[in-house]
Structure 1
Amino acid sequence: MITNGVPDWSDEAIRPADADSTIGWAGVPLSQTLAYYGHIKRPVLPTSDHLGFTPDFTSVDVDRLVASFVDRFARAVESQDIDAILDYVCEDGYWKDVMLLTWDIRTLRGHETIRPMLRERLPITEIKNVRIHSQIPSSREDLGEDLSFVLFHIEFDFAHGTGVGAGRLSPVAAKSGSVDDMADEKSWKLYSIGTTVQTVAGWDAEHGDKMRYQSAKLHDPLGQGRTYPELRQDEVEGRQGFDPTVVIVGAGQTGLAMAARLKVLGISHLIIEKEDRPGYSWASRYASLSLHGPTYTNHLPCVPFPSWFPVFLPARQLADFLLHYAGIMNLNVWTKSEVDGRNATYDEELGKWTISVTRQDGSKQVLHPRHLMIATGISGTLPTVPGVLGMAEFEKHGGLIVHSSRYQSRPDMAGKCALVVGAATSGHDLAYELYEKGCHVSMIQRSATHIMSVDRSVRYLFKDRELTNRNGGLPAELLDQSSFLRQPLPVQYELLPRGQAIARKLDKDLLESLRKVGYRLHDGYHGGGAYSMFHFDQGGFYWDTGCCKLIADKKINLLHSEIERFTEDGVIFKDGTHQQADIVVFATGYMNSKGAIQALMGDDMAKKCHERWEKGNAFFIGPEGESIVNYCPLPQKGLYAMFHQFAFSRFHSARLGLRIKAEELGIDVTPYGNKPIGPPSTAAGCRRRPEGHPL
């Protein structure tokens, strides 16, 4: 079916038809999830087919074109001439805004949606002095033989500080792709533009207020002669006037990055961590765990990773870095402490929370922050371990049943028979680790898995970031501006199959070797690879770090079955066959893989903030293609939820920090209204929810 010239997506279920649908969630077809079936309108890319000609991009003088376009566009913006502004934007183009015009994260598509936002917000934002960015060069962005853009970046001032933006130009108004047409400035319009806040009242989330650091010596602000260690101790414990303006729940990389932004912006903060150290989630996982995203994309604010660190950082090395990062950045952390979120109350008149925190010694302390941030992640806390007949008997006779999140290797593993249930990232990682420990390993692959090699495909797809923070490259902060402003998620999703097609070629031999042993492969939703699944399922893929070769070489046995019941010495599958096992690891994900607000504060607050327990929309993506929960203002004033990968958190923590700074300075940060929420995923009803998760 074709709608408005764009083919509708059509997916078949990834899960084999005869699989047991009560075990795990992997393989829910996209037609049963929230996303691209009328809920989010599919983008129309300005390809050669769509334009009706093949543009000669090689003839374009990029710098001349951008200089002329920005000059004319700037005049329209500064004069607040809405019609003139929209004349520079494609009829169906995008305007993405992150905490500048809207004080929210919004993606507006089409003139009729962009127009009311500009009409309402431009007069109060007062954008002026729009200019080409002094540090990020304009460029031709080639995304395939049939698709290119001219990419540029801008800087500007606004009523309360400065901002930056990124735009993609396309020759949509040209009549042909000739040299003359491409040289005509009137041929070009914005396919997309993104804007965001950079500083507020002289405060910069990356560097702080420079004037704060011009004192020759640190002095006690109360004149009590306290030394630096004494000041730090009082600050951490909240004594002597050190009251946190912001309380953050969770000391993982997300919470630490947010706290670092607040520290730089001069906003008092306190992190509450229930475990015994910052970065606990990375320190507590299986020993062989490594990050599958390149280290040069994962830098933390203010203190980047050393360039000699491994490209794919071991989790324990990251955990050590996070622990020291908290100290270097002077972050205030209470470990072995818990927030009573369900009894937290917000005083609308005072604009403050009342929350009770139980400390390690059992004492309770009441805090009154103006802002409460939940940074407990979306990896879940309730492991999915199906109840299978005979488990107790198996364990009674010395067998080990463990979820991947609880697995730790032991010295007596050699020679044992291990069965790993699940064939996504954790399943492969643990199968590899068990093999290296001398176990006889079998893996049960229930649903098809998306595979991409770390050493070839992943590095290729991130090659433009390899020189981040190094000679010949740009700082992470500037690369983030480009990455997160030039395209909204719907456009990124539409482009994913192009990169995945390249990855398939690079990994051709690897994928063919897996097919030969019966491994079930898929390319992600609509051929978009892991990132087409990440925002919806958070699973079903593996970026290979070595396990695939063991499977292809039959050193790890591959099975396609389901466990019927456990025996004293192993399992019986549903086809009646028996498998000996000493260890069974369920790499089967989590029941509550999202719902941080609900987990901390209960059902009523989760409902108020549109956080719905459901499968198929792990990031709560709304109709605009942006999360309606993550890093953005919520219906409950003073409350925020934060979760995502390193780069996303790095960029958005700066913008959220600046929003809070603006509010603390008395600036009106009321978000632009009429934000669409959208329906819940239809996949949410495919499986009965566990006890305690009634949403």
Structure 2
Amino acid sequence: MTLDPIQIASSWLQQYGDFLKSGDVKGTVSSFQPNGFLRDILVFTWNNRTLNGHEKITAYLEDTLRSACITEVELETRRGLVPELSGFNAQMISPVAETVSAGFTFGCKVGRGQGYFVLIPTEAGEWKAISVMTQLADISGHEEWILEEGIYGGHTLSWTDVNRERREAIEKNPYVLIVGAGHTGLNLAATFRHMDIASLVVESNLRVGDNWRKRYPTLTLHTPKVYTELLYQSFPRTWPLYTPRDKFADWLEQYVQSEDLVVWTNSRPLPGPTFDITSRRWTIVIDHAGQPVTLNPAHIVLAAGAHGEPNIPVIDNKEAFDGPVVHCEDYQGAKPFAGKRVVVVGAGNTAADICQDLSFHGAESVTMVQRSATCVVSVTSVRQMLEPLYHENLGTEVADFLLMAQPVGLLQQKAKQTEALLVEQQKETYRGLREAGYHLITDQSLFSLFYAGYGGYWFDVGCAELIRSGKVKIKHGVEVTRLENNSVVFTDGSFLEADAVVLATSFKSIRDKMRGIFGDAVIDQTDPVWGLDDEGEIRGCYRPSGHPGLWFAAGEFYVSRARSKQLALEIKAIELGLLKLCRATQDAGSLSAARYPMCLGLRVRDGQLQTLPGGG
């Protein structure tokens, strides 16, 4: 019998919507499979949560469903979100053939929401949700705007004058200070602008995009162009499939101009910011091109990436080494290393690219020091995984929404189902790598590694073949312990003769870097940045950090785009008084501060919710 996805989706949503509107928790939960997921972003609480199974969903909704005031639940009509049979998201979730998925819209207490569900049949043939996502889309009266008319004062004012006045007003009194003008900081600034949140970005480099220009010259993004776009702007049709370093840097620079963002380059926060709990404002001094400027923003967003300063391992006797020892941040190409014996410490994306660069440009020998096992995925496989969703006909906005609709736990389950297929596709590559002494991770998904630590993998664009052929040698399972004048000594007592060492050893946490600016008393109140919490949500980013008015934003292109609106809505809600700042001083186990973002003057201390003096 031919299934009708519209009829199935409509029937399920009608019943589910009635349960939501009436505040019927039991009925709402009955619409899920026993192992179903509810992912909620700012609808039932001012946070992002993922609940798995009837018991946890029930506990979550008991105190939140009625107060959310859900109304007008309707099927989506936008392209890519209409009901479909065995669509992309359904395939990502379940191996069964019969799946129905669709988007929907609804009203809620503070505005409009959007959602997505995936249904699979029970053994009795009844359609139930394996996954539902609800997300606040806009706050009523403060909706995100896309374009303005471009005519000012009835044709009496020039855009140049209007733009200058807007910029000057923001520079004098920004509501939000964003630290970092990489893709994350700029995505945030653009979103804030379209939400009428006055934001100023400070960037330590002389030019926007220098954080990319300063990296190794052969750097090219390993994900296709649609996946790597910024908010509101698509790349030109003629843009390369994989974006080169300098081309992307220049794109960031033009993005600031075309999106009318206010960015101070050659600027950085100085140590000692303070937060006044009464005025709800920071006092922070910015070194703006050598001049101290005091600002009083309500919020500071640290968007300098998930990583901060270079992670330099402790190596004894470095001063005795005759050649250069450089971190990958300072590596500017292989030409100076031609004819030299180079040891590259690290086995991630950067290490693989640098080894390939060194080999091509005539290094006498290249050895990769692989300290622990690594996942290797060909760039072709990455493209095949992304292109069913990220393609020009659908657009990044809908694609991001569809991917956001999938709880990480479900993505990990699906990834486990496809691990064997991925290993089979790359078995010859893997065989050659193992024969060369390279140790592989094949029992953890790329999703798990990315969300757990932002590393432990690399996308192969040619280095694997160099390893297989012996042009890049492998030294596995050891650390560099000391240097001699012309050799690298390892923890197992072995050594390699070397003329140069490149440390592709990643970066420290931005949270740790900011201790030097904000101090331990502030940073110790914040949650760790990156990794997953016990619900499968990213820790510490785009959600309450634990300290009022201080936020972290990090992640690659999809995370940065998809989460920017969430942070904008949280900050707008605080500005409007819908959400009061919560000074959470501890994560008290099951009573985590992050679980109560809607609190009005509450904190978590010693496992108990407490009222703050002065109401928060």
Tell me which amino acid in the other structure corresponds to 2:436. V
Compared CA separation, residues 528 and 565, structure 1 to 2 (3 A): closer
Post-superposition offset of 1:99: 1.7
- 1:96-136 deviation line (CA, Å, top 9, x unaligned): 11122211111123344333543433333322110111111
For the 8 Å contact 1:296–1:465, the answer to whether it is kept is no
1:190 corresponds to 2:123: no
1:431 corresponds to 2:355: yes
For the 8 Å contact 2:38–2:50, the answer to whether it is kept is yes
Alignment of 1:14-25 (within 5 A): none
Candidates 7, 11, 19, aligned match of 1:68:
11
1:138 counterpart residue number? 83
1:94 corresponds to 2:37: yes
For the 8 Å contact 1:299–1:476, the answer to whether it is kept is yes
- CA distance in 1: counterparts of 2:545 and 2:276, whole angstroms: 16
For the 8 Å contact 1:383–1:589, the answer to whether it is kept is yes
2:565 counterpart residue number? 654
Secondary structure (helix, strand or coil) at the match of 1:162 reads: strand
Candidates 442, 445, 449, aligned match of 1:533:
449
1:409 corresponds to 2:328: no
- 1:73-105 deviation line (CA, Å, top 9, x unaligned): 111212222222122123443221112221111
1:345 corresponds to 2:280: no
Tell me which amino acid in the other structure corresponds to 1:162. R
- CA distance in 1: counterparts of 2:279 and 2:65, whole angstroms: 30
- CA distance in 2: counterparts of 1:454 and 1:374, whole angstroms: 31
1:265 counterpart residue number? 195
- CA distance in 2: counterparts of 1:545 and 1:251, whole angstroms: 28
1:492 corresponds to 2:405: no
Name the structure where strand makes up a greater proportion of residues: 2
Secondary structure (helix, strand or coil) at the match of 1:380 reads: strand
Candidates 376, 385, 388, aligned match of 2:304:
376
1:364 counterpart residue number? 292
Post-superposition offset of 1:196: 0.6
- CA distance in 1: counterparts of 2:212 and 2:191, whole angstroms: 22
Secondary structure (helix, strand or coil) at the match of 1:291 reads: coil
- CA distance in 1: counterparts of 2:581 and 2:25, whole angstroms: 22
Compared CA separation, residues 531 and 641, structure 1 to 2 (3 A): same
For the 8 Å contact 1:378–1:596, the answer to whether it is kept is no
TM-score by length of 2: 0.87
Tell me which amino acid in the other structure corresponds to 1:559. K
Post-superposition offset of 1:545: 0.7
Compared CA separation, residues 516 and 653, structure 1 to 2 (3 A): same
Post-superposition offset of 1:381: 0.5
Post-superposition offset of 1:510: 1.6
Post-superposition offset of 1:234: 4.7
Q: Structure 1 stretch 503-512 or stretch 553-562: which is displaced more?
A: 553-562
Post-superposition offset of 1:275: 1.6
Compared CA separation, residues 678 and 312, structure 1 to 2 (3 A): farther
Compared CA separation, residues 574 and 123, structure 1 to 2 (3 A): closer
Tell me which amino acid in the other structure corresponds to 1:416. K
Post-superposition offset of 1:662: 3.3
- CA distance in 1: counterparts of 2:113 and 2:570, whole angstroms: 13
Post-superposition offset of 1:161: 2.1
Post-superposition offset of 1:577: 5.7
- CA distance in 1: counterparts of 2:262 and 2:18, whole angstroms: 46
For the 8 Å contact 1:419–1:442, the answer to whether it is kept is yes
- CA distance in 2: counterparts of 1:102 and 1:595, whole angstroms: 29
2:247 counterpart residue number? 317
Candidates 370, 382, 402, aligned match of 1:458:
382
Candidates 497, 506, 515, aligned match of 1:580:
497
1:165 counterpart residue number? 115
Tell me which amino acid in the other structure corresponds to 2:455. G
For the 8 Å contact 1:352–1:368, the answer to whether it is kept is yes
- CA distance in 2: counterparts of 1:394 and 1:280, whole angstroms: 30
- 1:29-60 deviation line (CA, Å, top 9, x unaligned): xxxxxxxxxxxxxxxxxxxxxxxxxxxxx853
Q: Structure 1 stretch 531-540 or stretch 596-605: which is displaced more?
A: 596-605
Post-superposition offset of 1:665: 3.3
Post-superposition offset of 1:269: 0.9
Post-superposition offset of 1:667: 2.9
- CA distance in 2: counterparts of 1:66 and 1:251, whole angstroms: 42
Compared CA separation, residues 204 and 648, structure 1 to 2 (3 A): farther
For the 8 Å contact 2:182–2:208, the answer to whether it is kept is yes
For the 8 Å contact 2:310–2:329, the answer to whether it is kept is no
- Paired residues, number: 580
Compared CA separation, residues 675 and 411, structure 1 to 2 (3 A): closer
- CA distance in 2: counterparts of 1:605 and 1:478, whole angstroms: 37
- CA distance in 2: counterparts of 1:370 and 1:565, whole angstroms: 48
Secondary structure (helix, strand or coil) at the match of 2:524 reads: helix
TM-score by length of 1: 0.77
- 1:195-215 deviation line (CA, Å, top 9, x unaligned): 11112224443x44x6xx347
- CA distance in 2: counterparts of 1:503 and 1:219, whole angstroms: 60
- 1:151-200 deviation line (CA, Å, top 9, x unaligned): 2211112233211001122223x33xxxxx3xxxxx12222211111122
1:43 counterpart residue number? none
Secondary structure (helix, strand or coil) at the match of 2:310 reads: coil
Post-superposition offset of 1:628: 3.8
Candidates 479, 482, 490, aligned match of 2:402:
482
Tell me which amino acid in the other structure corresponds to 1:518. G
- CA distance in 1: counterparts of 2:491 and 2:55, whole angstroms: 56
Tell me which amino acid in the other structure corresponds to 1:449. T
Post-superposition offset of 1:70: 0.8
For the 8 Å contact 1:255–1:375, the answer to whether it is kept is yes
Post-superposition offset of 1:406: 1.6
Compared CA separation, residues 565 and 266, structure 1 to 2 (3 A): closer
1:292 corresponds to 2:219: no
- CA distance in 2: counterparts of 1:82 and 1:501, whole angstroms: 39
For the 8 Å contact 1:562–1:573, the answer to whether it is kept is yes
Tell me which amino acid in the other structure corresponds to 1:479. A
For the 8 Å contact 1:596–1:641, the answer to whether it is kept is no
- CA distance in 2: counterparts of 1:629 and 1:264, whole angstroms: 24
1:554 counterpart residue number? 470
1:40 counterpart residue number? none
2:180 counterpart residue number? 250
- 1:387-440 deviation line (CA, Å, top 9, x unaligned): 133x21223xxx111111221126443222222122221111111111122112
Post-superposition offset of 1:574: 5.8
Candidates 103, 122, 147, aligned match of 2:65:
122
Tell me which amino acid in the other structure corresponds to 2:18. R
Compared CA separation, residues 403 and 634, structure 1 to 2 (3 A): closer
- CA distance in 1: counterparts of 2:254 and 2:588, whole angstroms: 40
1:449 corresponds to 2:371: no
- CA distance in 1: counterparts of 2:548 and 2:463, whole angstroms: 47
- 1:568-602 deviation line (CA, Å, top 9, x unaligned): 33334566665332211122223446546545422
Candidates 659, 662, 665, aligned match of 2:576:
665
Tell me which amino acid in the other structure corresponds to 2:503. F
- CA distance in 1: counterparts of 2:149 and 2:165, whole angstroms: 23
Compared CA separation, residues 677 and 451, structure 1 to 2 (3 A): farther
Compared CA separation, residues 288 and 101, structure 1 to 2 (3 A): same
Secondary structure (helix, strand or coil) at the match of 1:381 reads: strand
Q: Structure 1 stretch 229-238 or stretch 597-606: which is displaced more?
A: 229-238
Compared CA separation, residues 163 and 67, structure 1 to 2 (3 A): same
- 1:503-544 deviation line (CA, Å, top 9, x unaligned): 222222222222232322221xxx233321122232221110
- CA distance in 2: counterparts of 1:86 and 1:67, whole angstroms: 18
For the 8 Å contact 2:181–2:208, the answer to whether it is kept is yes
Compared CA separation, residues 138 and 587, structure 1 to 2 (3 A): same
- CA distance in 1: counterparts of 2:430 and 2:234, whole angstroms: 35
Post-superposition offset of 1:461: 1.1
2:486 counterpart residue number? 569
1:55 counterpart residue number? none
- CA distance in 2: counterparts of 1:59 and 1:677, whole angstroms: 52
**Which consecutive unaligned segments of at least 5 residues does structure 1 have?**
1-57, 176-180, 182-186, 612-617, 680-695
For the 8 Å contact 2:178–2:199, the answer to whether it is kept is yes
